[in-house]
């Protein structure tokens, strides 16, 4: 597992040049923009600044305060717990954002480190190993139910084919065997195994922290993200979801960067 973490964890490079950040984002799966600003206007313009002509649409940025989005706050006990690896935007189904940004306004001092795992690299690594090939094949071919309750129904393999020809490798706590699966017990075992491997690799992945004025850009179709628990109150970031020319389409209506706004 240590070797898997070394092969599949992502530690983003940082640059003040948006073009360099864009190149690293699509090559490595994540990057950090320095001198990105610290206010709502900086969050609004962030996607266009980094993605340039590749940007198709961006959701309205959402404040992330003490671990919650919009008006939600985590309890002190919840904030102290690790937020496990996940990808964003499940309520949009196959049209989930393929890039997301976190703009740091006030970091948590000394804790709450972030971590990233390249799920595509993880599947490639598993596929090359005799004891991992079955799981990799399952993730790429076996139809499961990835729908978020109340969101757009989404059936497909964990490595979900998109109309654009790309794949989106999702990680959600709601994934489950599809109705009508000929062997739901097998699907449940494989999903549990996949989730367990992600959790183990995430626990071993290197941690990094954003400074105030830095923005993390993540390939949401490929890289899962998480963070450690934290105790410093007042942590504040802005989250922005974005859709590029390789996304699985852009949802109709007003776009937000918060699942609960999609479900409301």
From CA 90, how far away is CA 74, in angstroms rounded?
20
Q: Which residues pair with 223 in a beta bridge?
A: 118
How far are the Cα atoms of 6, 7, 95, 142 from residue 3, in angstroms, in the given order? 5, 6, 33, 26
pLDDT for residue 70: 46
Share of the chain above pLDDT 70, in %: 92
The pLDDT tens digits for 117-161 are 999 999 999 999 999 999 999 999 999 999 988 888 999 999 999
pLDDT for residue 263: 61
Q: How many structural domains does the chain have?
A: 1
DSSP 3-state assignment of 204? helix
How far are the Cα atoms of 94, 118, 214, 228, 261 from residue 53, in angstroms, in the given order? 22, 25, 22, 34, 27
From CA 159, how far away is CA 167, in angstroms rounded?
6
Residue 75, burial from CB neighbour count under 10 angstroms (0-12, 13-18, 19+) = exposed
Domain of 145 in residue numbering reads as 2-263
Domain containing 19 — which CATH number? 3.60.130.10
- Direct distance between the N- and C-terminal alpha carbons of the chain, in angstroms, rounded to an integer: 40
Report which of 63, 68, 89 is spatially closest to residue 241, judged by C-alpha positions. Answer: 89
* Under 8 Å between Cβ of 229 and 84: no
From CA 242, how far away is CA 251, in angstroms rounded?
11
Please tell me the pTM assigned to this model: 0.91
């Amino acid at each position: 597992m240590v070797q898997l973490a070394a092969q599949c964890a992502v530690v983003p490079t940082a640059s003040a040049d948006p073009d360099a950040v864009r190149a690293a984002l699509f090559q490595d799966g994540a990057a950090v923009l320095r001198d990105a600003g610290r206010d709502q206007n900086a969050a609004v313009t962030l996607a266009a600044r980094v993605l340039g002509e590749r940007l198709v649409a961006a959701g309205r940025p959402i404040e992330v305060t003490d671990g919650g989005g919009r008006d939600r706050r985590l309890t002190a006990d919840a904030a102290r717990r690790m937020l496990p690896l996940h990808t964003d935007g499940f309520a949009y189904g196959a049209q989930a954002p393929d890039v997301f940004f976190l703009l740091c306004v006030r970091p948590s001092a000394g804790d709450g480190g972030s971590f990233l795992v390249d799920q595509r690299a993880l599947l490639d690594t598993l596929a090359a190993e005799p004891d991992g090939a079955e799981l990799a094949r399952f993730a790429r071919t076996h139809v499961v139910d990835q729908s978020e309750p109340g969101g757009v129904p989404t059936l497909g393999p964990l490595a979900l084919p998109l109309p654009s020809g790309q794949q989106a490798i999702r990680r959600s706590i709601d994934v489950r065997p599809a109705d009508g699966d000929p062997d739901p017990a097998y699907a449940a075992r494989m999903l549990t195994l996949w989730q367990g491997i992600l959790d183990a690799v995430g626990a071993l992945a290197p941690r990094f922290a954003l400074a105030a004025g830095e923005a993390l850009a993540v390939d949401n179709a490929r890289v899962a993200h998480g963070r450690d628990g934290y105790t410093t109150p007042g942590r504040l970031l802005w989250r922005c979801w974005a859709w590029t020319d390789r996304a699985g389409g852009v949802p109709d209506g007003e776009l937000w960067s918060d699942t609960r706004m999609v479900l409301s």
